[in-house]
Structure 1
Amino acid sequence: MADIYVQPKQWVNAYTAAGLPVGTAMLLQNKGDPVLLQEAAEQPSAVSDDGFYLAAGRSVEVDAGSPGVWIKAPFQISRLFVQEVLS
């Protein structure tokens, strides 16, 4: 599908950035520095560091029906590959 870029210290909606409808099953692969992932319908607080760390080179699959996936680069710009997972 496409790479998305995440700016430091800003939560980004993975669905919006990738141009996918919310709730679509997707694969995220981190091609940059570590990022935080949080599954939630609403954008997390800007100061929140809650979530799952995804290290460089690692991937995670998000199941269909997710209320939202938010990504934050805590240190510097990071790049992730996002692809829809077809069932």
Structure 2
Amino acid sequence: MKKDTDTTTKRASLKVHFGLTLRRARENLKLSQEVLAEKAGLHRTYIGQVERGERNISIDNMEHLAEAVGMELWEMLRP
């Protein structure tokens, strides 16, 4: 069972890491969640959920968000 728990924890921490990286990038660009959502073609409430690590975000949406903040996806996932 420990292996499943480790995997779940790792997934959660990656979601949180991506969300925090996204928030920092958005704030550095002085964008609101609403403007970022518009640039990425997503809903504003979805952006907030991603930034808080509450969403299981698809790779496609991760790419849209990375592009919207001018970053490469791999940069946003780097520890």
TM-score, scaled relative to structure 2: 0.30
Higher Cα Rg: structure 1 or 2?
A: 2
TM-score, scaled relative to structure 1: 0.28
Structure with larger RCO (C-alpha < 8 A, sep 6+): 1
Greater strand percent: which structure?
1
Greater helix percent: which structure?
2
